[in-house]
Each structure stands twice: as C-alpha cells, then as structure tokens.
Amino acid sequence: TVSIALFTQDLRLHDNPVLHAARDAADQVVPLFVLDPSVEAAGFAAPNRMAFLADCLVDLDAGLRGAGSRLIVRRGATAEQTARVAAETGAATVHVAAGVSAFARRREAALLALFGGRLHVHDASVTVVPAGRIAPAGRDHYAVFTPYHRVWQQAPHRTVLGAPRVIRTPDGIGSESLVATGPLSPALPRGGESAARERWRRWDLDGYAEGHDDLAGDSTSRLSPYLHFGCLSPTELVARALRHGGAGAEAFVRQLAWRDFHHQVLAARPDAAHRDYRTRNDPWHHDEREAEAWRQGRTGYPIVDAGMRQLAHEGWMHNRARLLTASFLAKSLYLDWRIGAAHFLTLLVDGDIANNQLNWQWVAGTGTDTRPNRVLNPLRQAERYDPDGNYVRRWLPELAHLPGRAVHRPWPLAPDYPDPLIDPDTLSARLRRARGLD
C-alpha cells in the first residue's frame, strides 16, 4: 500500500505528524511538495521567500534520502497534481497539515472534493495549539492575547515525534526542480531544517529575556523564517525551551503563543488578511511620495530608516524595528496599514499572512490591541532601544560619523541625509493628538 505525505508549511522530518501518519497508514510513502501557481499569482511567492523555499526543499530532499526516500516536487494546482501522483503510484490515502489562510482552506476543499474520505487533515502541525481548539464560551476565537495565553499555557501539547529513520518510497516517480528567480536581498539566511536546527543549537536562549528589545544586540532567535516554512516544529521548540527553563525560555514560549494567537484569529476571520479586524474609520490617506520614502528608508528618521534598510538587506527585521517602522507609517504618516503590510510581504523571508497582517493591524489600532490609540514616538523609541546609536550606524553609513545618540537627531549635521518627512514638532503634536492628549 502507498500513501502520500503532502508537505505544505511543515518542511521537516523531525516532529512531523503528517509524515508519521502517512507512514503508519501504508508500507510506502510518497513525500510530495506541489508549487501551486495560485500562490504565485496571489503575490505570496516573493523572490526572497522563493529562494528560501528552494533551500528548504533541497534540504528536505537530502534528509529524506538519508532515510532511503526522496522528495517529489510538482508544479500545478495542488489537488490535481496530488491526484495525478496518486494515480501514478496507486496511493490510497493523502495526509496534509491543516492551514489557516484562505488559500490553505481552498486547497483543503479542493483536495476533499477529489479524495473524499481518503484525505486526512492533521491539525497539530503548524501551530502548538490547533486554531479553534481553545475558545471563550460562545465565541470561535480569542480577540485578546492575555486570556488566550492563560488558557494556551494549560492546553495539552502533543508528544514530540522523532524523525523517521526509514521511509520506503516507490521508484520511478517524476519530479521537477525549483529554481528561484528575481532580485534577492543580499544577506538572506539559508533555508532548511538543517540550518534551522543549527541556529537553534547556537542561539543563546538565556539572553533572550533581557536582550530581546535591544536593537543593536540582535539577540532574538531569528527562527521566524524556519517557523514560517515549518523547518522547525513550534511544539518541539516549546518542549525544548520548557525543559531548559528560566526567564529566557518563558519569554520565548510566550512569543510562540503570540504566533498561535494570530493563527487562531486568522482561522476564524480569514478576511482580516485584507480588511480591518475592527473598524474605526481611521483617516488613512495615500501619499505615494511618503510611502516610497518609507519603503526606501529615507524618511529622515534614522531609527525608522535603519529598520527599513535592514529589511531590504536581509529580508528580515528586528521585532522592535517592525513595531516602530509600522507605527511610523500608520500612526505618524496616517498611511493605510495595507500599504506597509504589502511592502513587508514582498521582502520578509518570514512573511506570513497570519503574523504579518495581524501584527500590522495590532500596530495600526484596527486589530487586537486593547489600547488601539497607542502610538510609538520614533525619537523616544530610538533612545530607549538603541541608546548608543549602534543599530542606526550599522544600517545608515551616511550617519556613521555621528557619535553616540546624536545619530538619532542628525538633521543639521548630515548633509547627505534626507530632511524629516514630518518635522519633529509637528510629529510630537500629532502623537499627542492621537493619544487624545490635546
């Protein structure tokens, strides 16, 4: 007998319930990945993520070969390609992880239409607690993080599974290769499960509680792209962190709960990918000159520009920089959060509909923040989270000659650096007004 393990956002051998179930169901398993053109058409297949994905597939194939198997890659509509592989191999069952995006739902519906009861959807692969598993009485999801987190901590976690040693796969199944194209950020991380596990081994979890907001210290895990593509299982990470213990582990596990939280919001409200989760009639406007200055990292606010240049260079940005660049766009410039979210999605290697759109909405005040009028003053943020100015100097060479925190207010001193898009006094007045202080 043959089964198909359809890989989606779970590109790993360790702790992969889909792969295990496919193995338990049959003597032979076809590990399959389908590159679906509707993902490309929807713009999710940005070059940075495609390059990372290509690394992930090469590494997954190598891991499978180590177990006597290999990865089959096909291009086309997922359900049809899976049906074709099932017909070629005589596969009786198909195993896939449940997803939360509108695209994942459509994919699942199309698979169900073709396979009916032969399709097995496994819900504990992509998040720690499956979306929808915990909910307040009478509602389908939590709209506030704190009560969600309380219940999430008590929720049972499944047992972590090892990587299968042997996977038997039928011979002679055709496969395609995936070549990444398009302009790439120059310093992308390497994709794949091996790189992910190496990063986890080398990363200092104990320094996380104290250091995670220090922009120049750069001491967060940088595991987000690996979590996005499922090169690492969040369930395994939680288990390992809890076993390790300490304040760093506690803070890290809390961030993984945020990830689950956003996934359960999107699962219940797939429209929140594009529409305001909560309508507030914000006075968004569209000024292409301002939007482009923000994208280019030329707003005249060094801390904002440093974040935007890190994004362009690495396809990744520090969380604190994401918060303050997003706040600057939505709450200082009053540009529609969708403009910023779209730009992040074209560059972020970890670009993720649940995490990106719902974090943007959180910052813009249209999402799940219980203090939607919260605004971040970029100058105060700079002094707090980049007190010596080292993060700004790292990313803005034209300001590298300015010492210490003078780098955060460079205007008369740096002729090559743009004037601020909004002058600091107007900005302060806007921030006070937004907070209801004026």
Which residues are part of a known binding site for FAD? 208, 220-224, 252, 350-352
**Residue 277 phi, psi (nearest 5):** -65, -40
Site for ligand FAD, residues 138 to 157, rule: CB under 6 A: none
Sign of CA dihedral 225, 231, 232, 234: positive
Helix (H) or strand (E) holding 152: helix 145-154
Q: Return the beta strands (E) in 176-237 as ranges.
A: none
Question: Which one-letter amino acid corresponds to residue 302?
Answer: P
List, in order, residues 6 or more apart from 372 with CB less than 8 Å away.
278, 280, 365, 366
Select the residue interacting with ligand FAD from 103, 115, 301, 360 (CB under 6 A): 360
Sign of CA dihedral 379, 144, 270, 151: positive
DSSP, collapsed to helix, strand or coil, labels residue 212 as coil
Token pair for residue 404? 């210490």
Q: Per this entry, what is the length of the chain?
A: 438
| Closest CB 125 distance from ligand FAD, rounded Å | 15
| Closest CB 78 distance from ligand FAD, rounded Å | 22
Closest CA to 232 of 199, 263, 279: 199
Site for ligand FAD, residues 241 to 280, rule: CB under 6 A: 252, 255-256, 258-259, 262
Asked if 343 is part of the footprint of ligand FAD (rule: CB under 6 A), the reply reads no
Helix (H) or strand (E) holding 75: strand 72-75
Q: Pattern 61-90, binding to ligand FAD, x per CB under 6 A?
A: ------------------------------
Binding region? 208, 220-224, 252, 350-352
CB-nearer residue toward ligand FAD: 85 or 126 = 126
| Closest CB 5 distance from ligand FAD, rounded Å | 24
For ligand FAD (CB under 6 A), the number of binding residues is 28
CB-nearer residue toward ligand FAD: 101 or 355 = 355
Asked if 352 is part of the footprint of ligand FAD (rule: CB under 6 A), the reply reads yes
Token pair for residue 135? 């909910």
> Could you tell me if 355 and 409 are in contact, meaning their C-beta atoms sit under 8 angstroms apart?
no
| Closest CB 242 distance from ligand FAD, rounded Å | 14
Select the residue interacting with ligand FAD from 11, 54, 308, 348 (CB under 6 A): 348
Asked if 59 is part of the footprint of ligand FAD (rule: CB under 6 A), the reply reads no
Which residue stretch of 190-198, 217-225, 278-286, 425-433 sits at the interface with ligand FAD (rule: CB under 6 A)?
217-225
Residue whose entry in the numeric block shows the structure tokens 């309508």: 279
**Chain positions contacting ligand FAD, by CB under 6 A:** 212, 220-224, 227-228, 252, 255-256, 258-259, 262, 319, 322-323, 326, 344, 348, 350-352, 355-356, 359-360, 363
